[in-house]
């Protein structure tokens, strides 16, 4: 949740780059709505109820839940251009180790200019 708050704080930077942040939720609409409200985010959330979009982007950790083996969302960032091409990805193996917002902005700048 705090990651969304940090992204929100840098929203002007993303807007200047022409980048739209879209948090993707594999939970139901109620879960996504709660996350949006809790983070006080202005971003448009996408509910991927059947996980097909998340799977396509590599954001789904199949059977990743440590206690019940259900599918869970993998923490990651995916930069997709207006043509639907994936320009850049970053996935983390630990929820404690995440890309800083400033590092994300720099990586996006490099991906856009290449």
> Does residue 114 fall inside a structural domain?
no
Cβ atoms 45, 32 nearer than 8 A: yes
> Does residue 73 fall inside a structural domain?
yes
> Does residue 113 fall inside a structural domain?
no
* Total domains present in the chain: 1
Domain of 8: which CATH number? 3.40.30.10
Q: Distance between CA 23 and CA 30 in Å, rounded?
A: 14
Please report the pLDDT score of residue 16 as a whole number.
92
> Does residue 91 fall inside a structural domain?
yes
User: pLDDT tens for residues 30-79?
Assistant: 988 888 898 888 998 899 989 898 888 888 888 888 899 888 888 888 88
Q: How far is CA 8 from CA 1, 12, 88, in A?
A: 11, 8, 20
Q: Distance between CA 53 and CA 64 in Å, rounded?
A: 17
> Does residue 35 fall inside a structural domain?
yes
Cβ atoms 19, 39 nearer than 8 A: no
Instruction: List the domain range (segments joined by +) for residue 9.
Output: 2-108
User: pLDDT tens for residues 72-106?
Assistant: 888 888 888 888 888 888 888 766 778 889 999 99
């Amino acid at each position: 949740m705090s990651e969304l708050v940090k992204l929100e704080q840098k929203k002007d930077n993303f807007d200047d780059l022409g980048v739209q942040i879209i948090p993707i939720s594999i939970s139901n609409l109620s879960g996504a709505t709660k996350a949006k409200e809790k983070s006080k985010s202005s971003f448009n959330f996408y509910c991927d109820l059947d996980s097909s979009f998340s799977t396509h982007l590599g954001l789904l950790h199949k059977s990743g839940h440590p206690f019940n083996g259900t599918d869970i969302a993998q923490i990651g960032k995916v930069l997709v251009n207006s043509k639907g091409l994936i320009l850049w990805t970053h996935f983390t193996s630990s929820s404690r180790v995440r890309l800083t917002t400033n590092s994300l902005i720099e990586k996006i700048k490099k991906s856009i200019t290449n």
